[in-house]
Chains A and B, each alone.
Chain A
Amino acid sequence: MAIRVNDFTINIATANGTGSQSANLIILHSMYEMGVPVSGKNLFPSNISGLPTWFIIRASDAGYQAPGDHTHIQVMMNKDTWEKDLNNTEPGAVIIYNQDVKLPVERDDCVVLPMPMTKMARSISPKMAKLMANMYYVGAIAHILKIDQGAIEAAVSNQFGGKEKAIEWNLQAIAQGKAYAEENWDYESEYMAEARNKDPNTFLIEGNEATALGAIYGGINMLSWYPITPSSSVAESIISWIPKLREAEDGGATCAVVQAEDELAAAGMVLGAGWAGGRGMTCTSGPGISLMSEFIGLFYFSEVPGVIWDVNRVGPSTGLPTRTQQGDLSMLYEASHGDTQHIVLIPGTVDECFEFGWRAFDYADRFQTMVFGFGDLDLGMNRWSTAGFEYPDIPMDRGKVIRSQEQMDAIANYGRYRDVDGDGIAYRTLPGSGLDPILYRGTGHDEDGIYSEDPQVYHSTMERLKRKIDGARDLLPAPIIRQEKEKSVGIIFYGSMENTIVEIDDMLEETGLSVSTCRVRALPYHSDVEAFIEAHDNIVVLEINRDGQLFGILRKELPVQLLTKIQSVAYSDGLPPRARVYADLILETMKEVKL
């Protein structure tokens, strides 16, 4: 019998709030500790306790990080989803289940492995039995995959950092689970986690925490926020890290944190901070962006810097609040009434969450406008590997701010909104400076900031704003392009699809297609994106939404002769993207264009 080494998917079905997240992370981290290329996806409900949760762990020597197309090992702990989980399990899979749930498992076509998890947990602590039961499936999986005991111990001690009793009990439970499996199961495992040379520099971290750290190294000094899944952990990470990383000489705080009354107020605070010369930021998700939209227009029109970090969840409306999507992109790009256009930074890795986290402030100050960070729940709330964050390679860019009379005198014909050097960006002065004060406003204004309804004044203001944001294109992060010699098919994608693209690419190339890829990392899109489109015969714009939102933006902005080349492949069901789904959709589309 051939053994599948580092090439399998485990699905663990539990109920929310039963402590299963600890057990799942111990499996994930112990394999990661061994150097097994592994990824974990938490599919959790909008609920604190009781509703079903699934955790998907995929090991893949090929480096695939999407949830696999097949589940090889199914763990069943939740009576509410028992039947569904059982029916979804494919023939040939291994089913590990908690026998104390007392529900039948009649699957002759699977390897069925029962364990009295709750009962055994009671022997360690009757009070904690419900929580501890989860550790028995850790033991069971450790047995089946031959996970290294040292790695398990490291993961447990990391998970329960410092709590000696918890470490002892949980290790005991895992050991009992392992022993039970060894003694009672007559099954020669077909799966194995084999140690690989782990880069000692790597570690796992959630995108939201990486974003938070980036913001701190970007000099954030005002954080306003209103709790919303899946963005709250950005704010909570900033709050927990900032006192450890930054302190003024007098011991006072260097970043004001305000939990706002709603998202409108959170955006207003960022605006106020930016206007007064600070680095303000808020984090939110789609519903919050909807509420902030009025202020986003004021940022754009009055030209005030600020950062809004959107961690996308599934819309429209309240949607699926704990599932992932790239459904906010077109809203971000043109948020608010009237003609607007905003800079959107789109990280695809945790390294980029950190990097764009600090760069966002520089872009905001440079272009005197609101800058969006755009991630999603998959990237933000799941753990991804990094070799360590890189320190900013440039000093902070505070943009065109006049800070002294001398600087003011050096500018001929100063006006708050007068473009004196042709880049569309005017100089500004700060409140408190006494330098050429104006009353900022969201109403029409001339180059000196004075109220105006003059048609020519309005028209030229709007043209300058267009020129200003357009000028950002090639200064924003360039796309990451991987180009084949034969320029047949080019896939344009962005954000967390990065974690699935390699597998999609491999699936397509298996069919004989030659596929290049281009990951867009910012809007307005870089000129390299257009060059990529020009260089390829057929372009697929691949997205995790229904309507093909980047496709729509490209169709609006590309030269008309390129439009016939581009096709949209967009699909969204709330789950992190599975390679097979997208690869098949791309193949179908290619068939339609008769490639």
Chain B
Amino acid sequence: MSILKLNVIDLEKSEYKGGKSSLCPGCGHDQISNVIIQAAWENGIKPEGIAKMSGIGCSSKTPAYFLGKSHGFNTVHGRMPSVTTGANMVNKDLSFLAVSGDGDTASIGIGQFIHAIRRNLDMVYIIENNGVYGLTKGQYSATVEKGSKKKKGTMNEQSPIDLCAMAVNLGCSFVARSFSGSKKQLTALLRAAMSHKGMAIIDVISPCVTFANNDESYKSYNYVKENDEVLHIVDYIAHFSPIEAVEVPAGEFKEIKLFDGSTLRLETVGNEHDPTDPVEALRAIHDADKESRHVTGLLYYNPDKKTATETLGLTNTPLMALPESELRPSKQSLEELNEGFRTN
């Protein structure tokens, strides 16, 4: 009999698993689902406290494949942010974990994506970015790079929309880019995003094995492996980790304190990156873009921005839990209201 490992709230990892994936074997999205399971388990989040949100597309199907003990909503194409907004307004205590794709986010849903950032909705927003529409059989999406070519058809001639650059420009409070093949980096970034209060965006390059995993595709495994411009080595140190378990790296590093008390350690590789500076974040994106490389790591971080519900000054109890006595004004108040109209 093997001893099963438990997390900080005494749950086995299996408590965080979902149904069987129906995506193509080898799909980058399945690797991301595994990272989601791992990160939620390691962070010791109660499964019932999480709400899984998604739009439409291959990526948006994945909430069926992780966190089976959490409620979720597979909504409509590109409109997941608004549904999340409504749910967040009435229950700010839920942890919203959203999965979307590049078609869902960069095309049909770009307006809702932008406005969710503008409001600083308290959520983790993962974009599973492969540059193609998988479910409709491989059309280019708006994030595909100019000069990239999918398995069949012609080379893409249009400029891409860089969702991270857009998020930085909009003042998103946590912006990261990663790769589905970089399990360690992605897990650390996702754990940090889960510890963050406010909108956390992780744009994850996730190769489409069926339609765009050829070497001429800039989002193929081989291409990303060879052209990954790593900003820093990321390490997540949970707030509940015993102090003696935390190693101190030999080289230079920076530490970021997260909302729940956890730490994200950024070890310098090459040039030091300051994630609190939006201009530096944009420069890193543009520099990589010039050389057709993908920059990965924590691009931008701003912990001081108020969340959507904080800005509204909502009462502390989640609105959905307010009793009738707080939601329906008294009979006397209506009598006074009528009287006020009569005498005015």
The answer to whether the Cβ of B74 comes within 8 Å of any Cβ in the partner chain is yes
Contact A396:B93 (CB < 8 A) given known A217-B334, A437-B70:
no
Q: Which residue of A lies closest to B73 (CB)?
A: A440
The answer to whether the Cβ of B322 comes within 8 Å of any Cβ in the partner chain is yes
CB distance from B195 to the nearest CB of A (A): 19
Stretch of A166-174, A256-264, A454-462, A520-528 with 4 or more beta carbons under 8 angstroms from chain B: A256-264
The answer to whether the Cβ of A125 comes within 8 Å of any Cβ in the partner chain is no
The answer to whether the Cβ of A276 comes within 8 Å of any Cβ in the partner chain is yes
Contact A245:B82 (CB < 8 A) given known A437-B72, A442-B74:
no
Q: How far is the CA of A579 from the CA of B63 in the complex (A)?
A: 58
User: Across the interface, do B90 and A396 meet the contact criterion of CB distance under 8 Å?
Assistant: no
CB distance from A530 to the nearest CB of B (A): 35
The answer to whether the Cβ of B3 comes within 8 Å of any Cβ in the partner chain is no
Contact A276:B91 (CB < 8 A) given known A261-B115, A268-B75:
yes
Chain A residues with CB under 8 A of B86: 222, 224, 268-276, 278, 280
Chain B positions 237 through 277: 1 when the CB is less than 8 Å from some CB of chain A, otherwise 0: 00000000000000000000000000000000000000000
CB distance from A73 to the nearest CB of B (A): 27
Q: How far is the CA of A451 from the CA of B321 in the complex (A)?
A: 30
User: Across the interface, do A261 and B314 meet the contact criterion of CB distance under 8 Å?
Assistant: no
Chain B residues with CB under 8 A of A255: 319
Contact A395:B75 (CB < 8 A) given known A222-B319, A265-B82, A439-B52:
no
User: Across the interface, do B315 and A389 meet the contact criterion of CB distance under 8 Å?
Assistant: no
User: Across the interface, do B64 and A254 meet the contact criterion of CB distance under 8 Å?
Assistant: no
Chain A positions 281 through 321: 1 when the CB is less than 8 Å from some CB of chain B, otherwise 0: 00000000000001100100010000000000000000000
Chain B positions 181 through 194: 1 when the CB is less than 8 Å from some CB of chain A, otherwise 0: 00000000000000
CB distance from A108 to the nearest CB of B (A): 45
Q: How far is the CA of A388 from the CA of B333 in the complex (A)?
A: 12
Q: Which residue of B lies closest to A204 (CB)?
A: B341
Q: How far is the CA of A205 from the CA of B338 in the complex (A)?
A: 11
Stretch of A10-18, A110-118, A185-193, A426-434 with 4 or more beta carbons under 8 angstroms from chain B: A426-434
Chain A residues with CB under 8 A of B46: 434
Instruction: Please classify the interface of chain B as helix (H, G, I), strand (E, B), loop, or mixed, using the class held by over half of its residues.
Output: helix
Q: Which residue of B lies closest to A217 (CB)?
A: B328
User: Across the interface, do A278 and B91 meet the contact criterion of CB distance under 8 Å?
Assistant: yes
Chain B positions 81 through 107: 1 when the CB is less than 8 Å from some CB of chain A, otherwise 0: 111111111110110000000000000
The answer to whether the Cβ of B313 comes within 8 Å of any Cβ in the partner chain is yes
The answer to whether the Cβ of B8 comes within 8 Å of any Cβ in the partner chain is no
The answer to whether the Cβ of A156 comes within 8 Å of any Cβ in the partner chain is no
The answer to whether the Cβ of B329 comes within 8 Å of any Cβ in the partner chain is yes
The answer to whether the Cβ of A216 comes within 8 Å of any Cβ in the partner chain is yes
User: Across the interface, do A213 and B90 meet the contact criterion of CB distance under 8 Å?
Assistant: no
Chain A positions 503 through 523: 1 when the CB is less than 8 Å from some CB of chain B, otherwise 0: 000000000000000000000
The answer to whether the Cβ of B342 comes within 8 Å of any Cβ in the partner chain is yes
CB proximity to A under 8 Å, residues B28-80: 46-49, 51-52, 63-64, 68-76, 79
Chain B residues with CB under 8 A of A276: 51, 86-87, 90-91, 94, 320
The answer to whether the Cβ of A143 comes within 8 Å of any Cβ in the partner chain is no
Q: How far is the CA of A85 from the CA of B314 in the complex (A)?
A: 52
CB distance from A557 to the nearest CB of B (A): 29
User: Across the interface, do A268 and B79 meet the contact criterion of CB distance under 8 Å?
Assistant: yes
The answer to whether the Cβ of A22 comes within 8 Å of any Cβ in the partner chain is no
Q: Which one of B51, B322, B344 contacts A254 once the chains associate, using CB atoms below 8 Å? A: B322
Chain B residues with CB under 8 A of A302: 73
User: Across the interface, do B331 and A391 meet the contact criterion of CB distance under 8 Å?
Assistant: yes
Chain B residues with CB under 8 A of A580: none
Q: How far is the CA of A280 from the CA of B86 in the complex (A)?
A: 8
Chain B residues with CB under 8 A of A251: 315
The answer to whether the Cβ of A63 comes within 8 Å of any Cβ in the partner chain is no
User: Across the interface, do A279 and B327 meet the contact criterion of CB distance under 8 Å?
Assistant: yes
User: Across the interface, do A218 and B90 meet the contact criterion of CB distance under 8 Å?
Assistant: no
User: Across the interface, do A440 and B72 meet the contact criterion of CB distance under 8 Å?
Assistant: yes
User: Across the interface, do B79 and A432 meet the contact criterion of CB distance under 8 Å?
Assistant: no
Interface centre among A295, A391, A438 (most CB of B within 10 A): A391
Chain A residues with CB under 8 A of B73: 272, 275, 302, 439-441
Q: Which residue of A lies closest to B78 (CB)?
A: A264
CB distance from B297 to the nearest CB of A (A): 30
User: Across the interface, do A252 and B87 meet the contact criterion of CB distance under 8 Å?
Assistant: no
User: Across the interface, do A442 and B75 meet the contact criterion of CB distance under 8 Å?
Assistant: yes
| Number of residues on chain B facing chain A (CB within 8 A) | 63
CB distance from B158 to the nearest CB of A (A): 25
Chain A residues with CB under 8 A of B47: 434
CB distance from B172 to the nearest CB of A (A): 16
Q: How far is the CA of A389 from the CA of B85 in the complex (A)?
A: 33
The answer to whether the Cβ of A203 comes within 8 Å of any Cβ in the partner chain is yes
Contact A258:B334 (CB < 8 A) given known A246-B327, A437-B48, A437-B71:
no
CB distance from A162 to the nearest CB of B (A): 11
User: Across the interface, do B79 and A295 meet the contact criterion of CB distance under 8 Å?
Assistant: yes
Q: Which one of A221, A256, A275 contacts B327 once the chains associate, using CB atoms below 8 Å? A: A221
Q: Which one of A202, A245, A439 contacts B63 once the chains associate, using CB atoms below 8 Å? A: A439
Q: How far is the CA of A302 from the CA of B48 in the complex (A)?
A: 20
CB distance from A129 to the nearest CB of B (A): 29
The answer to whether the Cβ of A399 comes within 8 Å of any Cβ in the partner chain is no
Q: How far is the CA of A256 from the CA of B311 in the complex (A)?
A: 10
User: Across the interface, do A248 and B91 meet the contact criterion of CB distance under 8 Å?
Assistant: no
Q: Which residue of A lies closest to B320 (CB)?
A: A277
Q: Which residue of B lies closest to A270 (CB)?
A: B86
Q: Which residue of A lies closest to B47 (CB)?
A: A434
Q: Which residue of A lies closest to B322 (CB)?
A: A254
Chain A residues with CB under 8 A of B1: none
Chain A residues with CB under 8 A of B312: 253, 256-258
The answer to whether the Cβ of B309 comes within 8 Å of any Cβ in the partner chain is yes
The answer to whether the Cβ of B112 comes within 8 Å of any Cβ in the partner chain is yes
Q: Which residue of B lies closest to A223 (CB)?
A: B89
Chain B residues with CB under 8 A of A391: 331, 334-335
Q: How far is the CA of A252 from the CA of B314 in the complex (A)?
A: 5
Q: Which one of A220, A298, A430 contacts B320 once the chains associate, using CB atoms below 8 Å? A: A430
Q: Which residue of B lies closest to A265 (CB)?
A: B82
CB distance from A539 to the nearest CB of B (A): 38
Q: Which one of B51, B68, B83, B313 contacts A432 once the chains associate, using CB atoms below 8 Å? A: B51
The answer to whether the Cβ of B324 comes within 8 Å of any Cβ in the partner chain is yes
Q: Which residue of B lies closest to A252 (CB)?
A: B315
The answer to whether the Cβ of B337 comes within 8 Å of any Cβ in the partner chain is yes
Interface centre among A205, A255, A257, A269 (most CB of B within 10 A): A269
Contact A246:B329 (CB < 8 A) given known A200-B342, A272-B86, A276-B91:
yes
CB proximity to A under 8 Å, residues B287-332: 308-309, 312-322, 324, 326-329, 331
The answer to whether the Cβ of A452 comes within 8 Å of any Cβ in the partner chain is no
Q: How far is the CA of A539 from the CA of B115 in the complex (A)?
A: 51
Q: A256-B90, A276-B87 are in contact. List 6 more A-B contacts (CB 8 A).
A: A205-B341, A245-B333, A253-B313, A254-B314, A273-B320, A437-B72
Enumerate 11 A-B pairs (CB-CB under 8 Å) in ascending A order. A246-B329, A254-B326, A261-B112, A265-B85, A265-B112, A268-B85, A274-B86, A389-B338, A437-B70, A442-B76, A451-B64
Interface residues of B (CB under 8 A from A): 46-49, 51-52, 63-64, 68-76, 79, 81-91, 93-94, 111-112, 114-115, 119, 308-309, 312-322, 324, 326-329, 331, 333-335, 337-338, 341-342, 344
State the 8 A-B residue pairs at the shortest beta-carbon distance, nearest first.
A272-B86, A268-B82, A278-B90, A252-B315, A434-B48, A248-B315, A219-B327, A269-B86
